[in-house]
Amino acid sequence: GAGVSQSPSNKVTEKGKDVELRCDPISGHTALYWYRQSLGQGLEFLIYFQGNSAPDKSGLPSDRFSAERTGGSVSTLTIQRTQQEDSAVYLCASSLESGDYEQFFGPGTRLTVL
């Protein structure tokens, strides 16, 4: 595909359930980023991957949040025991390499926790 893809596009879950959000970066992009967009907090950085390692996890809001990347490609963001405050749009971006390269964003996954 030409761009960053994310799935699902929408996810509705019940409080306390676990969810997995998936990101497929642009082919050949070594850096991958997760951000969260919510009404109260705006756009927040969550975590960044270079290859399969995550040098910067500083934005993950709690230990209920984790992410992994395999094969230097697909990444999964997992939220355990979801809470209503986790409701947001989760955006993934990728760039050719880390640093000052343009980050290309996917369309996001809208998560609603009931």
> Is residue 72 part of the contact set for other proteins (CB under 8 A)?
no
> Is residue 35 part of the contact set for other proteins (CB under 8 A)?
yes
Number of residues that bind other proteins (CB under 8 A): 26
Nearer to other proteins, 44 or 72 (CB): 44
Phi, psi torsion values for 84, nearest 5 degrees? -60, -30
Nearer to other proteins, 76 or 98 (CB): 98
> Is residue 63 part of the contact set for other proteins (CB under 8 A)?
no
